[in-house]
Amino acid sequence: MDGIIEISLFLVLLTIGVFAGRASERKHYRELAEAEKALRDIIVSNRGSPGEAGTFSRGTLVVGSVVIAEDFFKRVAGGLKSLVGGNLRGYETLLERGRREAIVRMKQEARRLGATHVVNVRLETASLSEDWSGRQPMFSAEFIAYGTALLRNR
Amino acid sequence: MELTTLETVPGKTITRHLGLVQGSTVRSKHAGKDILAGLKNIVGGELKSYTALLNESRSEAVDRMVEQAREAGANAIVNIRFSTSNIAAGAAEVMAYGTAVVVS
């Protein structure tokens, strides 16, 4: 009896994961594409400074961050896939979304300040799901993008 | 206080280096928020409460770094870097560090 309850709970979670997870992923990709389009005129570089750095009078720190988690389906599919090895597509999209979102938020902050360039950008990822007990809860990670927004003469 | 990830401050020149300054915070997630995040985990996607938590931690780490630089007599911090690490279940350390300088 307990087994049946456990299996049906698993299937319910899996179904929610498949549908709700996919829907939220598609929605996120759409939102990212829109935001990136709107912020396309802000030039981002991970070099120390752009060629015209001399014409800017001020630089200030900008940061964008997001914490993003896997869904139940990704966890199960990832677990199965890692038995045979190869690309874990579900995690690839998750990490890509996180990183793009962090960059978008950093650019939005730069836009609020009226900056046209963000230079010396660094990207960081930190897993938030490991703990000392060795227990493996659901995977979640923080993504940050930060750099120096350059402003023209005021 | 000017903050930048560059090695210089745009539009200014560095006159003195005052060495490394750093600030960090360790914060744990709120238990109630953790439960909500657990539910959110079934569906996946952004955990807004954690994003907010880590953002608060980061601005506090920056504040502490700025405080240290001010005590050293700096008016800018260059080459700023951040790092986040998960130190225990439900707790994360956020650190900011950079080089304190005097610019004019």
Domains of chain B in start order, with CATH, are: 2-103 (3.30.110.70)
Residue with tokens 């870097």: B81
- Picking from B9, B85, B88, the nearest residue to A126 by CB comes out as B85
The span from the CA of B18 to the CA of B101, in Å, is: 5
Confidence of residue A1 (pLDDT cuts 50, 70, 90): confident
Residue A107: which domain range?
Answer: 2-151
A108: confidence class by pLDDT, cuts 50, 70, 90: very high
What is the average pLDDT value for chain A, to the nearest integer? 85
pTM of the model: 0.86
What value does the mean pLDDT take over residues B41-63?
A: 86
- The Cα A35–Cα A27 span in angstroms is 12
Q: Does A90 touch chain B (CB under 8 A)?
A: no
Band of residue A96 on the pLDDT scale cut at 50, 70, 90:
very high
What is d(CA B29, CA B40) in angstroms, rounded to the nearest whole number? 15
Region A82-105 average pLDDT? 90
Mean pLDDT of B79-85: 91
Residue B104 contacts A, CB cutoff 8 Å: no
pLDDT of B71 above 90: yes
Q: What is the mean pLDDT of chain B?
A: 87
- Nearby residues of A98 by Cβ (< 8 Å), 6 or more positions away: A66, A68, A125, A141, A143
- Is A131 within 8 Å of chain B by CB? yes
Is some CB atom of chain A closer than 8 A to the CB atom of B101? no
- Kind and range of the H or E run holding A28: helix A22-38
The alpha carbon of residue B13 is apart from the nearest alpha carbon of chain A, in Å, by 11
Average pLDDT, stretch B78-88? 87
How would you label A90-127 residue by residue, b for 16+ Cβ within 10 Å and e otherwise?
bbeebeebbbbbbbbbbbebbbeeebebbbbbeebebe
Question: The domain spanning residue A54 has which CATH number?
Answer: 3.30.110.70
A144, A123 Cβ separation under 8 angstroms = yes
A154–chain B Cβ distance below 8 A for any pair: no
When CB atoms are compared, the residue of B10, B11, B44 closest to A70 is B44
Q: B-contacting residues of A 9-38, CB under 8 Å? A: 13, 16-17, 20-21, 24-25, 28
Highest mean pLDDT out of A8-12, A20-24, A73-77, B13-17 = B13-17
Which of B3, B34, B46 to mutate to probe the A interface, most A CBs <10 Å? Answer: B46
* Residue B35 pLDDT grade (very low, low, confident, very high; cuts 50, 70, 90): low
Q: Could you tell me if A113 and A60 are in contact, meaning their C-beta atoms sit under 8 angstroms apart? A: yes
Lowest mean pLDDT among A25-29, B49-53, B93-97: B49-53
Q: How many domains does chain A have?
A: 1
**Shortest Cα–Cα distance, B1 to chain A (Å):** 10
Residue A154 has pLDDT above 80, yes or no: no
Least confident of A73-82, A86-95, B92-101: A73-82
Establish whether this prediction's ipTM goes over 0.95: no
Residue type, B1: M
The model's pLDDT over B7-17, given as tens digits with 9 standing for 90+, comes to 888 888 899 99
